[in-house]
Structure 1
Amino acid sequence: MGNTAVVVGGGIGGLAAAIGLRRIGWEVTVVERASVLDDTGAGISLAANGLRALDELGVGAAVREAARGQYSGGTRTPGGRWLARMDGAALERAVGTPIMGIPRSTLHRLLREALPAEALLIGSQAGPVQQLGAGTVRVGCGDTVLDADLVVAADGIGSKIRSLCFPTHPGPVYSGSTVLRAITEQALELRTDFELTWGHGAEFGHIAFNDGRAEWHAVLNLPAGTRFADPLAELHRRFRSWHNPIPDLLNATAREAVLHHDVNELRTPLPSYVVGRIALLGDAAHAMTPNLGQGACQALEDAVTLAAALAAGPDVEAALARYDAERRPRSQAIARAARHAGWMGQQLSLPLAVTLRNTAMRMTPARAATRMILRHHAWIPPRLA
């Protein structure tokens, strides 16, 4: 079995895949079109399944040291009433770790540092991918041509490689929600590690970090492509009557720090994550809405599972078939669950529906809520040699 791979895409999933392949003895080149290899996203929550994947990749300890455990918080109404409380200690007892919050840029840096500089081809646009036969896949990168035994498509929700592999697939679609987010400029005295607040067709949440700063996000039901001349002023207007610390978080944010992206997803599942010697991974394979906080965790699961399958052999084709069989059912089920969570959570706007949802949440026992979380978090990674 050959042992050279090209990973197209230098995001969290692509870097994790490269680390995993190197850990099993493969030669890997990561091709990233951006001239600076970084992640400009705001913050991320890592559940037990993602953290276990990072452990298997050898970077879990560093990530835990840089992250903050989410022990307190929960879900509230705009007036501040609690709908559900978070019990991070109970979750830790059940799966060995609380959910942990970390800036995306920090996670990205820790993954980059686990790879040698020569493995990263930065500022290079991956061109056509050709399967040449005899187990060789060719990737054009400007004047450079890379031949490999495997190509990992980690090129995100707008994946060109996915379009090449599945030309009749409809591709990503708009979920109905748009998200604005940022990291505060200064530290705040927050009483909780993590919160979500649900209104009518709107959500505001925060993740507290180790250094006292926090990531916040605001999700709104709006037509695709909606943008504001002054996003921060618009959020002050929309959330001015919502409970603290929402106004404090907005006040602690620089205007230029606000990011605004529409939430898109692969609503039509792919029939396979593998075509020949091309393996799709992360958002290229199963882009999902963020309502369960599982997007990055699923990409990390992909990376470890792919590396373990290739390590077990007996050949690339058999390993990729096993990767597809293991990853597609779970990741697509979680994508469906995330979509449904959005429909029943942030996207609800009719007053009666919101009232019924809030009543159901207040009546749900904490143990039942923890069991629901464990369905997604209680994943054990395969071992990497």
Structure 2
Amino acid sequence: MRAVIVGGGIGGLCAALALRRSGWEVTVLERAPRFGAVGAGITLMANALTGLDALGVGAEVRAQGSIDAPGGTRTPDGRWLARINAGELAAALGTAALGIHRATLHGVLLAALPPAALVTDAAVTAVEPGAVVCTAGRHPADLVVAADGIDSTIRHQLWPSAAPPRYVGTTAWRGVTDEPWPGELTVAITWGAGTEFGIVPLGDGRVYWFAATNAPEGTRSPDEKAAVRAIVGDWHDPVPALLDATTTVLHHDLRHLPEPLPTYVRGPVALLGDAAHAMTPNLGQGAAQAIEDAVVLGAACTPGRPLAEALADYDDRRRPRSQSVARASYRIGRVGQQLTQPMLVAARNAAIRWTPPRVALRSMARYADWRP
């Protein structure tokens, strides 16, 4: 049985690994001239690591290092609203969360696949019965996995009535320090009015940071680091120093799929990852849900099982959970970073201050409580 996976990101490569473990012949089509990860850092929680274990690459990913650092929530002047030590943080989340550069994770996944399965410069133009047509030729396919992101060509073709991606009102910057960070390592989110700044130590000693603020869609600056500095440059240490230590700053508007799809499956085509359930990053679950999708898809598509039955099983198992996580992530953004009214900001901060950190983390950790 032949599977063609459209999209060579984290979700697509995980789907390739999962289907190969179930005996499928797999081809991954990537429209870019070469395989590579776009982005900065990523946090992998318990469900993502469990999924990577199921794909046979968990140990190698874990070897890149886990976050052994305290965490908490702060205000722009540096005042702590909540703090938790590393051991309690790991216990609440079900594992020591792992901070890793997307390029490192992507490289581990690529190395686990045979080069012959990977095709670049392959922009898909159509899905036909039994084949995928792309700029690199026509590829026979018994199964097509659309892992081609939030602007999925295949979703647009086969789900034409689906609502398009929508801007959520927040624009975000991301960066990774050029060198390992010499200072204290803390997993922290700082919430201001309509703005947040997050700090995540990576396994290699560098620090991944992100900033987000309410803004009109399409707002851009000729100097993106200067734009971030204008927003959070006077916030507590080490925010200004992290900006100084970073050369490359990425800027993207945050979008999601505003209406849940009624199904992730059309005939022999299955949507996966952002193509199916693009969500805001407020729960840190976007990549994790794609990894879960891949594991479940591979487990469903076992040798000898009718494909229609397998894909119906995949849809039944993945659609309710992934859409529930997407809704929760959007809600957290609305009551967290996006709040601007002073009284509501004060109420939010008071709620964080008076809620035991372990209780607050358990509410987040339930989304990472998953077994394949």
Instruction: Give the TM-score of the pair, scaled to structure 2.
Output: 0.97
Mapping for residues 89-100 of structure 1, pairs under 5 Å: 89-93=87-91, 96-100=94-98
Alignment of 1:264-303 (within 5 A): 264-303=255-294
The Cα shift of 1:368 comes to 1.6
Is the partner of 1:371 in helix, strand or coil? helix
In structure 1, what residue type is equivalent to 2:341?
A: L
- Distance of 1:64 and 1:111 partners within structure 2: 13
Paired residue for 1:192? 185
Q: Which residue of 2 aligns with 1:252?
A: 245
Structure 1 partner of 2:70: 72
How far apart, in 2, do the equivalents of 1:253 and 1:95 lie? 29
Q: Does residue 60 of structure 1 match 2:58?
A: yes
Give 3-state SS (helix, strand or coil) of 1:236's partner: helix
1:313-335 per-residue CA deviation (whole Å, 9 max, x = no partner) reads 62110000000000000000000
Cα pair distance change 1:312/1:379, threshold 3 Å: farther
Q: Which runs of 5+ in 2 are unaligned?
A: none
Q: For residue 124 of structure 2, what is the aligned residue in structure 1?
A: 126
State the SS of the aligned residue for 2:63. Answer: helix
Q: Secondary structure at the match of 1:380?
A: coil
What does residue 354 of structure 1 align with? Answer: 345
The answer to whether the Cα contact below 8 Å between 1:158 and 1:172 also exists between their aligned partners in 2 is yes
* Residue pair 2:198, 2:211 contacting (<8 A) in 1 also: yes
Change beyond 3 A, Cα 1:347–1:140: same
Indicate the residue corresponding to 2:194 in structure 1. Answer: 201
Instruction: Please give the secondary structure, in 2, of the residue aligned with 1:229.
Output: coil
Q: Partners of 2:63 and 2:49 in 1: how far apart? A: 12
The code of the aligned residue for 2:118 comes to L
The answer as to whether partners of 1:312 and 1:319 remain within 8 angstroms in 2 is no
Residue aligning to 1:104:
102
Q: Tell me the amino acid that sits aligned with residue 335 of structure 1.
A: A
Task: Give the conservation status (yes or no) of the 8 Å contact 2:260–2:277.
Answer: yes
Structure 2 CA distance for partners of 1:296 and 1:214, relative to 1, 3 Å: same
- Cα pair 2:180 2:207 within 8 Å, conserved: yes
The number of residues matched between the two structures is 372
Whether the 8 Å CA contact 2:93–2:361 is kept in 1: the answer is no
Give the match for residue 235 of structure 2: 242
After superposition, the Cα gap between the structure-2 partners of 1:311 and 1:356, relative to the gap in structure 1 and judged at 3 Å, is same
Alignment partners' CA distance in 1, 2:360 and 2:305:
42
Query: What whole-Å deviation, never above 9, does each CA across 1:225-255 have from its counterpart, x for those lacking one?
Result: 000121111222221220001011001011x
CA distance in 2: counterparts of 1:249 and 1:326, whole angstroms: 41
1:311 counterpart SS class: coil
Change (3 A) 1:374 1:253: closer
Q: TM-score, normalised to structure 1's length?
A: 0.94
Q: CA RMSD in A?
A: 1.4
Partner of 1:377: 368
Within 1, Cα distance between the matches of 2:259 and 2:110?
Answer: 32
Equivalent pair of 1:313/1:319 in contact (CA under 8 Å): no
Name the CA distance, whole Å, in 2 between partners of 1:336 and 1:115.
33
Give the Cα–Cα distance (whole angstroms) in 1 for the partners of residues 160 and 41 of structure 2.
Answer: 33
Of 160, 164, 176, the match for 1:167: 160
Aligned-residue sequence identity (percent) comes to 52
Partners of 1:49 and 1:301 within 8 A in 2: yes
Q: Is the 8 A contact 1:190 1:208 kept in 2?
A: no
Q: Which amino acid aligns with 1:344?
A: V
Q: Which runs of 5+ in 1 are unaligned?
A: none
Match of 1:36 in 2: 34
Cα contact 1:34–1:122 (8 A) shared by 2: yes
